[in-house]
Structure formats: C-alpha cells, structure tokens
Amino acid sequence: MNNFWIQNIRTRILYGSIWVVLTSIQILLLRFYISSELFWNYCHFLLIYNTIQAIGILGLGYPVYYYRNIVSIPLFLLFHLLLWILWMSIAWLLGCWISDNLFLNLLPISILIGLLLYVAFMLTYYINFSRNAFEMPKETEQETAETAVSIEKITRISVKKHQEIRFLPVEQIYCIEANGDYVLIHTSDSKYLKDKTMKYWETHLPDDLFVRIHRSFIVNIEMIAKIELYEKESYKVQLKNGVQIKASAAGYKLLRLRM
C-alpha cells in the first residue's frame, strides 16, 4: 500500500497507539488548566477532534504520495500549507459541530499542536518514500542468471483494471516507478500495480525504448517532453503527460547515450 501507516497490522497498531498517547497527554494537561465543571465537555471534544484528525492524516497520505515529486520549493510549501489548512479546518468544524462552540478557547493550542503533528507525520511519509527509493533492487537467483544470457524482450504486458485483464503494448508505457516490492506502471491516464522487481523490468523491456534514469524510475524515451537541470548532478525529466520525475547523474548520462 502507498500509505505507510496502514501497510500492515504492526503499523496500524502503532498509529492507533500514537493517537491514544497523544489524546491521553492532552487530557492530562487539560486537567490542570480547565475547571472541573467543563473538564468532561472538553474531554468529549478532544476524543472527537483527535479521531477526526487521525482519520484525516491517513487520507492526506495519498495526495502526498502522488505529488511527492514536486521540485519547486514554493509549490511544495504551498501544497503542504493548503493540505494542513484543509486538515485542520475539517477536523475543527466537525468537532465544534458535534460538541457545540464551547471549545474556541482551545483554538490557539490546537493550531500549534496540529502544525507539529502535521510536520511529524509528513516527515514519516517522506522518510518512508526515501527509504524505498534508495533500497537496492532485490535480485533473485533466476534474474541474476538471466543477465548472463540473452533475454527475450517483452512487447506487451497484462494489466488488471476492475475485473478486466487488458494487454498493454509497452510503447504506451510512460514510465515505471518503484513501489516497495512492486512497481507502478504509468500510462497516459492510468496507473497499474505490478509485481517483479525494477531489475526485471530494466532487463526485459526493449533497450532502445526504455532507460533506467534513477533507482526508482524507468522511463520511455519516446514519452519525454523535456529535460531540465534540477540541482547539482540531478535532473528533472518532464513527460508528455505532465508528470515530472528525477534523473540521477548516471541515469542522465545513460539517457543522453540512448537518445
């Protein structure tokens, strides 16, 4: 799964435990600052508010995953500012709607805590993405043996959409992106999750059409719109569908040779 916190039972339990601990700490702090007659009302609000926040931050993991390759710093900051405002606003409005408007006094501290939590969870997402990107590709003994002999190149792949199995010519692939133990096949209008390692796709796709420009990306050179220098020894490749991906220095050199 793309969302780190629901990958397996362990991460789900960890995520739930984090929110239980955070809520407990907030309730303990309220005990010292809120009068006893209002204390239970505030506790009621915190339970609702934090539950909504916990669900919301899981939902935010998906837009962050699909737009994590934003290379413009102003756009990156604007993207996350808008997500944070959306997350905080929905949680607060729903919490107040359910529990009246007695809790506006908590707004300043809620904004501060919400900002810290947002940064912490977003860092977790990006660290997880980076870890997957820099993991060495897993090679099986069979794939290692195949590299020593002539490998038959594939001309089409089978993909599943809803209940249908379709056969996709490789020429229609824009790029292939590493996704843990799987890959995402990008086309003009869809993404398909496939098994096998990046090494498999690198060696089985036609060499005159596909180039591995990064540990996490294999690109169809016919689908490249332009290439720009992103930072020192790093390049930004824009595809014809508008998607932007990174190319390492070694990947860029190989791409120039192929093109």
- For 91-105, what is each residue's pLDDT tens digit? 777 766 765 555 566
pLDDT (average), residues 231-254: 85
**pLDDT tens per residue, range 117-144:** 888 888 888 887 776 655 544 444 455 4
Question: Is residue 170 included in any domain, yes or no?
Answer: yes
Interatomic CA distance for residues 218 and 14, integer angstroms: 34
Locate 212 and state its tokens.
């591995």
| Residues 126 and 170 reside in one and the same domain | no
Q: Are 223 and 154 in contact (CB under 8 A)?
A: no
The C-alpha R_g of the chain, in whole angstroms, comes to 23
Q: Are 248 and 219 in contact (CB under 8 A)?
A: no
Query: Which residue from 83, 76, 122, 80 is spatially nearest to 230, judged by alpha carbons?
Result: 76
Whole-model pTM: value is 0.47
Interatomic CA distance for residues 21 and 57, integer angstroms: 16
Question: Is residue 220 included in any domain, yes or no?
Answer: yes
94-98, 145-149, 253-257: the lowest-pLDDT one: 145-149
pLDDT over 50 (residue 40): yes
| Residues 183 and 97 reside in one and the same domain | no
Locate 55 and state its tokens.
């669900």
- Cβ-Cβ contacts under 8 Å for 211 (sequence gap 6 or more): 218, 219, 221, 251, 254, 255, 258
pLDDT at 170: 93
| Residues 81 and 117 reside in one and the same domain | yes
70-79, 194-203, 247-256: the lowest-pLDDT one: 70-79
Helix crossing, 36-66 with 73-99: angle to 10°? 140
Interatomic CA distance for residues 254 and 77, integer angstroms: 32
| Residues 14 and 128 reside in one and the same domain | yes
- Which of 134, 169, 197 terminates a domain? The answer is 134
Domain that holds residue 251: 148-258
- Which of 110, 134, 158 terminates a domain? The answer is 134
Helix (H) or strand (E) segment spanning residue 131: helix 107-134
Interatomic CA distance for residues 11 and 5, integer angstroms: 5
pLDDT at 103: 57
Query: Which residue from 66, 192, 42, 196 is spatially nearest to 129, judged by alpha carbons?
Result: 66
Length of the chain: 259
Q: Which CATH number belongs to the domain containing residue 198 in this structure? A: 2.40.50.1020
Question: Is residue 37 included in any domain, yes or no?
Answer: yes
- Which of 109, 134, 159 terminates a domain? The answer is 134
Interatomic CA distance for residues 66 and 244, integer angstroms: 11
Number of domains making up the chain:
2
| Residues 177 and 208 reside in one and the same domain | yes
Interatomic CA distance for residues 92 and 90, integer angstroms: 6
DSSP class of 136: P
